[in-house]
């Protein structure tokens, strides 16, 4: 049985500024965030040193130029036939990439000053991601290119710079029909200048594994790539999670160009990295020349071991762990794709709250900030590289890059990420069309061999669909077999291949609109309604997918499957199935959480399954027209087996979960409950039939007040940290108004600026930057950014006919 052991995080990031003339000693990292110049469209000679960019827009990076809109159904309208959806002919898909203007060319320019003693130094520029087809220039000279917008890349620009002022220019181009979802546009991830001595640790230059791990001790192997000339000493220091130096090792070696220095350490009584206790170690790799420390490179790692078994799935540190994962696209809802740590952490906090323990980075290399948070918060990660190989899904998709760039992009991903303790497998693709061909296995083997060559400590998987790859040698290439949907295949696959290991790489695709309930609760495929909404009973699904109930049953009945990644954790921009040929629809309905970060009803279905916390969630709301609604179905998502329902104190009977009926196995259902305004209450019963917990919903009166909440009482005064102010419309008694659509106006005072707003309604195409937002089913959101100065932020919300409200947030150093 092969076990996979721990490794380490990546690089050094010392956030310092060298905008003023100064001398450099050792390594200096400057993150280029402010005072970028940007323009949309191609501009002749925009890369040249003396080009006049005074009339260009001044922006902060990370920057997504397209999120500012306007929305338009003509933007990247795609006439396509989607094989994975079972389509027989082409359809004109509107909103597939959110109807946002991401197509076209954009230019960025940034001036920077080099320190005084740059002649004896090396200078690199690092991009965490730029969308897309990046061409990089320094002082008018072409430095290099990287077309895949999700890859991180770097260039040595030492020979292009001069003492004093220099200009970095970047040309980007997004082509039409190059993506199946909203990809964003621009330099949407961080950019850094890295100054080093000529003797230094290479970019992504540490590779750390722990081939032997027990509770008593761990063996740590560190390979460090050092660049330079002559006798160089590498001093490697390891610090524990309390920042205490616990071991070190020094080695001297003659270096000519590049050398890999291997060192072995033993750590007694290691702090194990786990989902519950994500403890990280730190490594400082110090290069010493002529008895002087000339470079320090920082890495972070955690110690753990894991394995997949054919019998019962995934084990972490010797304990069987059910993978309770979600797939996540890379956009941040109203913020677009411009990476922001505050927004990422909010997403992960919300997912953690329902018991999620794993993330699939569908279907591309993620931002490094996401992986760092997963390391620190205790998420395991399926790190995915591609959505497309040589056989294209998109007219201008990755098929045009495959021959020259596939290996480069995969190596970039693995070298950047292979030290993260959160990553437990590589995925080299999603529903790749080569899986249905006789020769597709050759390309699969090509990628798997690269992954094994660059990192032998993790298994390689892929998201397959349908039966064919199990029979044509395609699936056989992968260490762990990932299947998307097609839950009926798991018993057949197990019988046909008893020695295979499985994971449900993509599940459910249940569609829902938060707070909207269609009282016809028959499970329905691709149901379309005139209001372009999906029911929040978690019973609407697509023709290739299923409800959570069916997915849960598949896993419970097939314990050899390691777990699942639900499509998706959050709604995302683009791909608005089932309304993908209608307009306006700008974002998906698949999320367990909506685009603004508000949980849908099914959030509590997963929470009931994935946590030990008592859950008792009632649906639907209790504000109906009694002249039109005489009876209605009431569902309760709970981890109690039985409960009794009451309407205005009158019992509607006890329901108990029935393991023999899939739609009574994971939810409690009362059909034809008489509706009358007032209160609906449910009392959960323990194993002895005694009351254990209760919850209720009251009919709300007319909207009266605005309730503001903020889960983060303070934010950093760094000019980029965000706070998220949530709006609930309530009546005079404090009851939530589930149908309210009041138009809310936000104002901000103090050390904050208004950044964006949202409400989770896919059909709302009001600009995200508007400070006015209609509530959708009683809720909306304002996102506020700190100015960079400490103090206080006051956010005020008002609406005609409602009592205004305000909330205060501290901004701290």
- In terms of Cα–Cα distance, which of 784, 810, 781 is closest to 713? 810
Radius of gyration of the chain (CA): 27
List, in sequence order, every residue forming a beta bridge with 327; answer none if it has no partner: 360
DSSP structural state of residue 466: S
Tokens 């000679």, residue located: 45
List, in sequence order, every residue forming a beta bridge with 691; answer none if it has no partner: 685
Query: Sign (positive/negative) of CA torsion 266, 268, 271, 272?
Result: positive
189 vs 368: CA distance, rounded Å = 9
270 vs 514: CA distance, rounded Å = 45
- In terms of Cα–Cα distance, which of 797, 205, 800 is closest to 808? 797
- In terms of Cα–Cα distance, which of 550, 503, 511, 522 is closest to 313? 503
Residue of 173, 506, 644, 720 marked catalytic: 506
- In terms of Cα–Cα distance, which of 391, 479, 480 is closest to 440? 391
Among left, alpha and beta (phi > 0; psi -120 to 50; other), residue 198 is alpha
Query: Exposure of 222 by Cβ count < 10 A (0-12 exposed, 13-18 middle, 19+ buried)?
Result: buried
415 vs 655: CA distance, rounded Å = 54
Catalytic status, residue 376: no
Determine the straight-line distance between the first and last CA of the chain, rounded to whole angstroms: 50
Under a CB-based contact definition with an 8 Å cutoff, are residues 429 and 409 in contact?
A: no
Q: Which tokens sit at 542?
A: 């697509």
Catalytic status, residue 47: no
- Three-class secondary structure assignment of 665-685: HCCEEEEEEECCCCEEEEEEE
Starting at the edge strand found earlier in the chain, the sheet holding 153-156 runs: 28-31, 191-197, 121-127, 153-156
Under a CB-based contact definition with an 8 Å cutoff, are residues 331 and 343 in contact?
A: no
Under a CB-based contact definition with an 8 Å cutoff, are residues 798 and 775 in contact?
A: no
Under a CB-based contact definition with an 8 Å cutoff, are residues 622 and 360 in contact?
A: no
637 vs 110: CA distance, rounded Å = 53
* Helix/strand/coil for 597: coil
Query: Sign (positive/negative) of CA torsion 398, 399, 404, 410?
Result: positive
Report phi then psi at 748, rounded to 5.
Answer: -130, 135
634 vs 668: CA distance, rounded Å = 8
DSSP structural state of residue 715: E
Under a CB-based contact definition with an 8 Å cutoff, are residues 550 and 311 in contact?
A: no
- Tally Cβ neighbours within 10 Å of residue 249: 14
Under a CB-based contact definition with an 8 Å cutoff, are residues 75 and 99 in contact?
A: yes
Among left, alpha and beta (phi > 0; psi -120 to 50; other), residue 618 is beta
Query: Sign (positive/negative) of CA torsion 67, 329, 63, 365?
Result: negative
Residue of 173, 384, 388, 431 marked catalytic: 431
Q: Which tokens sit at 607?
A: 């929470």
- In terms of Cα–Cα distance, which of 627, 687, 689, 699 is closest to 654? 689
Under a CB-based contact definition with an 8 Å cutoff, are residues 199 and 289 in contact?
A: yes
Q: Using DSSP bridges, classify how beta strands 540-541 and 616-619 pair: parallel, antiparallel or unpaired.
A: unpaired
432 vs 462: CA distance, rounded Å = 9
257 vs 233: CA distance, rounded Å = 14
Provide the angle, in degrees to the nearest 10, between the axes of the packed helices 402-417 and 440-454: 30
What residues are labeled active site?
431, 506
């Amino acid at each position: 049985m092969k076990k996979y052991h721990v490794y380490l995080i990546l690089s050094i990031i010392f956030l310092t500024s060298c905008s003023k003339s100064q001398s450099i000693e050792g390594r200096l990292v400057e993150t280029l965030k402010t005072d970028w110049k940007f323009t949309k469209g191609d501009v002749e000679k925009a890369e040249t040193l003396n080009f006049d960019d005074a009339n260009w827009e001044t922006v902060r990076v990370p920057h997504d130029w397209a999120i500012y809109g306007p929305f338009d159904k003509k933007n990247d309208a795609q006439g396509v036939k989607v094989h994975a959806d079972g389509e027989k002919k082409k359809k004109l898909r509107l909103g597939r990439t959110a109807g946002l203007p991401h197509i076209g060319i954009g230019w960025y320019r940034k001036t920077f000053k080099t320190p005084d003693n740059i002649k004896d130094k090396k200078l690199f520029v690092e991009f965490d991601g730029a969308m897309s087809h990046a061409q990089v220039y320094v002082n008018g000279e072409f430095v290099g290119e990287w077309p895949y917008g999700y890859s991180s890349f770097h260039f040595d620009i030492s020979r292009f710079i001069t003492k004093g002022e220099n200009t970095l220019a970047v040309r980007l181009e997004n082509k039409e029909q190059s993506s199946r979802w909203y990809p964003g546009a621009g330099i949407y991830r961080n950019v850094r200048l890295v100054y080093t001595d000529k003797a230094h640790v290479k970019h992504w230059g540490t590779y750390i594994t722990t081939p032997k791990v027990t509770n008593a001790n761990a063996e740590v192997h560190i390979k460090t790539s050092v660049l330079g000339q002559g006798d160089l000493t590498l001093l490697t220091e390891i610090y524990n999670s309390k920042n205490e130096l616990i071991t070190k090792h020094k080695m001297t070696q003659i270096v000519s160009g590049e050398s890999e220095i291997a060192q072995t350490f033993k750590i007694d009584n290691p702090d194990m990295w786990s989902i519950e206790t994500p403890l990280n170690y730190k490594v400082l790799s110090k290069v010493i020349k002529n008895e002087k420390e000339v470079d320090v490179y920082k890495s972070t790692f955690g110690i753990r071991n894991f394995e997949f078994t054919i019998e019962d799935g995934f084990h972490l540190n010797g304990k069987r762990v059910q993978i309770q994962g979600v797939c996540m696209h890379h956009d941040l809802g109203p913020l677009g794709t411009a990476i922001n740590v505050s927004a990422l952490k909010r997403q992960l906090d919300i997912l953690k709250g329902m018991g999620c323990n794993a993330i699939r980075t569908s279907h591309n290399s993620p931002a490094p900030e996401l992986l760092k948070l997963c390391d620190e918060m205790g998420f395991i990660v399926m790190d995915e590289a591609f959505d497309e190989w040589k056989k294209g899904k998109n007219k201008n998709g990755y098929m045009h890059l495959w021959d020259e760039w596939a290996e480069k992009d995969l190596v970039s991903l693995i070298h950047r990420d292979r030290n993260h303790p959160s990553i437990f497998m590589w995925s080299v693709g999603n529903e790749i069309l080569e899986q249905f061909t006789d020769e597709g296995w050759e390309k699969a083997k090509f990628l798997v061999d690269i992954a094994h060559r660059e990192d032998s400590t993790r298994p390689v998987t892929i998201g397959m669909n349908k039966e064919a790859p199990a029979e044509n040698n395609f699936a056989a290439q992968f260490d762990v077999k990932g299947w998307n949907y097609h839950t009926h295949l798991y018993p057949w696959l197990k019988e046909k291949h008893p020695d295979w290991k499985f994971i449900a790489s993509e599940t459910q695709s249940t569609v829902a609109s938060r707070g909207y309930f269609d009282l016809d609760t028959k499970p329905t495929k691709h149901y379309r309604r005139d209001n372009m909404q999906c029911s929040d009973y978690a019973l609407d699904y697509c023709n290739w997918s299923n409800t959570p109930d069916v997915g849960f049953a598949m896993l419970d009945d097939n314990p050899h499957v390691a777990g699942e990644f639900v499509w998706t954790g959050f709604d995302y921009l683009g791909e608005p199935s089932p309304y993908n040929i209608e307009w306006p629809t700008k974002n998906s309905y698949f999320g367990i959480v909506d685009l603004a970060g508000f949980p849908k009803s099914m959030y509590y279905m997963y929470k009931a399954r994935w946590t030990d916390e008592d859950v008792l969630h009632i649906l639907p709301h209790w504000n109906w027209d009694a002249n039109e609604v005489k009876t209605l179905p009431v569902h309760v998502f709970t981890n109690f087996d039985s409960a009794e329902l009451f309407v205005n104190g009158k019992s509607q009977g006890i329901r108990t979960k029935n393991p023999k009926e899939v739609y009574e196995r994971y939810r409690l259902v009362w059909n034809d409950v008489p509706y009358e305004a007032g209160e609906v209450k449910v009392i959960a019963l323990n194993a002895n039939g005694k009351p254990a917990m209760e919850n209720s919903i009251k009919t709300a009166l007319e909207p009266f007040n605005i309730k503001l909440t903020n889960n983060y009482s303070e934010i950093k005064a760094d000019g980029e940290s965000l706070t998220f102010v949530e709006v609930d419309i309530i009546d005079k008694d404090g009851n939530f108004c589930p149908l309210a659509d009041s138009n809310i106006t936000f104002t901000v005072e103090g050390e904050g600026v208004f950044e964006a707003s949202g409400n989770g309604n896919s059909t709302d195409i009001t600009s995200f930057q508007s400070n006015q937002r209609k509530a959708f089913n009683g809720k909306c959101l304002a996102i506020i950014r700190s100015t960079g100065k400490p103090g206080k932020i006051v956010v005020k919300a008002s609406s005609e006919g409602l009592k205004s409200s305000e909330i205060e947030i501290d901004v701290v150093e």
